[in-house]
Chains A and B, each alone.
Chain A
Amino acid sequence: MAPILDIKGLYKNYGSTEILKDINVAIEPGDFLVLVGPSGCGKSTLLNCIAGLEPITGGSLSIGGQDMSNVSPKDRDIAMVFQSYALYPTMTVAKNITFGMKVRGVDQAEQDAKLERVAEQLQIKPLLNRRPSQLSGGQRQRVAMGRALVRDPKLFLFDEPLSNLDAKLRVEMRTEIKALHQNLGATMVYVTHDQIEAMTLATKIVVMKGGVIQQIGTPSEIYNRPANMFVADFMGSPAMNLIPAKATANGNGSVIEITGADGTPITLKDTGTSGLPNDVIIGVRPEDIAEAGQRSGESLQQAECRIDIVEPAGADTFVVTHLGGKAVTARLHAETTAKAGQPQMLSFDLSKVSYFVPATGERLN
Chain B
Amino acid sequence: MTDAAFTNTPARTQGKAVTVALRWLLYVLLIAFALFYLAPLFVMVTTSLKSLEEIRTGDLIALPREVTFDAWATAWSGACTGIQCEGVRPYFWNSVLIAVPAVLISTLIGAINGYVVAQWQFRGANVFFALLLFGCFIPFQVVLLPMARMLGLMGIAGTIPGLIFVHVVYGLGFTTLFFRNYYVSIPSELVKAAKVDGAGFFRIFWSIFLPLSLPIIVVTVIWQFTQIWNDFLFGVSFSQAGTQPVTVALNNIVNSTTGVKEYNVDMAAAIIAALPTLIVYVIAGKYFIRGLTAGSVKG
* A interface residues (Cβ-Cβ under 8 A, vs B): 48, 51-53, 72-74, 78-80, 82-84, 86-91, 99-100, 103-104, 147, 159
Contact = CB atoms under 8 A, between A and B. Distances in A.
A99 B207 contact: yes
B198 interface: yes
B190 interface: yes
B189 A84 contact: yes
A79 B196 CA distance: 6
Given A83-B189, A88-B207, A53 B212 contact: no
Nearest to A90: B211
15 contacts: A53-B195, A72-B195, A80-B193, A80-B196, A82-B192, A86-B187, A86-B193, A88-B207, A89-B212, A90-B208, A90-B212, A91-B207, A99-B197, A100-B196, A100-B199
Contact of B192 (A86, A88, A91): A86
A52 B197 CA distance: 12
Contacts of A159: 189
B195 A100 contact: no
Contacts of B151: none
Given A80-B192, A84-B187, A84-B189, A103 B208 contact: no
Contacts of A100: 196-199
A78 B192 CA distance: 12
Interface of B: 187, 189-190, 192-199, 203, 207-208, 211-212
A88 B198 contact: no
Given A86-B189, A86-B192, A103 B199 contact: yes
Contact of A82 (B189, B203, B208): B189
Contacts of B196: 51, 53, 73-74, 78-80, 100
Contacts of A78: 196
A79 B197 CA distance: 8
A83 B208 CA distance: 18
A51 B192 contact: yes
B203 to A, nearest CB: 6
3 A-B pairs with least C-beta separation: A100-B197, A74-B198, A86-B193
Contacts of B194: 88, 99
B230 to A, nearest CB: 34
Contacts of B207: 88, 91, 99
Given A52-B195, A88-B207, A91-B207, 15 more contacts: A53-B192, A73-B195, A74-B198, A86-B187, A86-B190, A86-B193, A87-B193, A88-B194, A90-B208, A99-B194, A99-B207, A100-B197, A100-B198, A103-B198, A104-B198
A90 B198 CA distance: 18
**Which of B193, B198, B199, B211: most chain A Cβ within 10 A?**
B193
Contacts of B212: 89-90
**Which of B197, B198, B199: most chain A Cβ within 10 A?**
B197
Contacts of B189: 82-84, 86, 159
A79 B194 CA distance: 10
A91 B190 CA distance: 12
A320 B208 CA distance: 54
A74 B197 contact: yes
Nearest to A79: B196
A74 B192 CA distance: 10
